[in-house]
Amino acid sequence: MTVNNEMYHTGLLAPLDKNNVDTDQIIPKQFLTSTSRDGFDAALFYDWRYLDNGEQNPEFILNEACYQGATVLLTRDNFGCGSSREHAPWALKQYGFTVILAESFADIFFNNCMNNQMLAIALPEATLDKLFAISEQCFADKQDIQINVDLQNQKLISDKFEAIDFDIRSDIKDRLLSGLDFIGVTETFNPKIDEFEAQLKAQRPWQ
């Protein structure tokens, strides 16, 4: 995850205080008919964002004006459960989210996020409780929360709270910092693969 060639991301935090947000809520199945990866942001959290008449739901937190342009999503446990559809991280990323903070993530959703250059950070419940409390107070005070996500040093930094350390697997960290997905990582081994194939052909000229 590189921003302006730096190893961090700075963005506005938006809270979604819900457990077990599944992929059908992230992007409902009726919007998965497109053969393109684009255009899913309009349907993100569709059943929560919109009323039956198609107008925005004024009671849905992410529709608040102060959270428009948010790139860091604060949520709860078991985020991204349900189906394995990759459209869920596509919709989140196209909407603008680059970082997701939650207590835990469904395994396939987690890997899909990382493969789409999105950072999914698991934090303890107590830490999330503090962040939600801070977010609620800032909302009441009409203040926003800007977070610097320092991937290289594995820290969340803001003027609203003390720095928070987070864990991440070294291979995932390397992929995000290099901007590579699974295929991209495999392609870095192409010279060794070519060398091996050349050696094998020399040993077996009859093939």
AA letter at 59: E
Sheet with 161-165, strands from edge to edge, namely: 119-122, 99-102, 72-74, 8-15, 146-150, 155-158, 161-165
The encoded tokens of residue 114 equal: 């990382």
Position with higher pLDDT, 143 vs 38 = 143
Radius of gyration of the chain (CA): 20
Give the C-alpha separation, 74 to 98, whole Å: 11
Domain boundaries, the chain: 8-168
According to the model, what pLDDT value does residue 203 have? 73
pLDDT digits (tens, 9 = 90+) for 43-57: 999 999 999 999 999
According to the model, what pLDDT value does residue 78 have? 98
Q: Kindly report the three-state secondary structure assignment for every residue of 121-140.
A: EECCHHHHHHHHHHHHHHHH
Would you place residue 28 in the very low, low, confident or very high pLDDT band (cuts 50, 70, 90)? very high
Would you place residue 193 in the very low, low, confident or very high pLDDT band (cuts 50, 70, 90)? low
Q: Domain 8-168: which topology? A: Aconitase; domain 4 (3.20.19)
Give the C-alpha separation, 157 to 160, whole Å: 9
According to the model, what pLDDT value does residue 32 have? 87
- Burial class from Cβ neighbours inside 10 Å (0-12, 13-18, 19+) for residue 23 reads buried
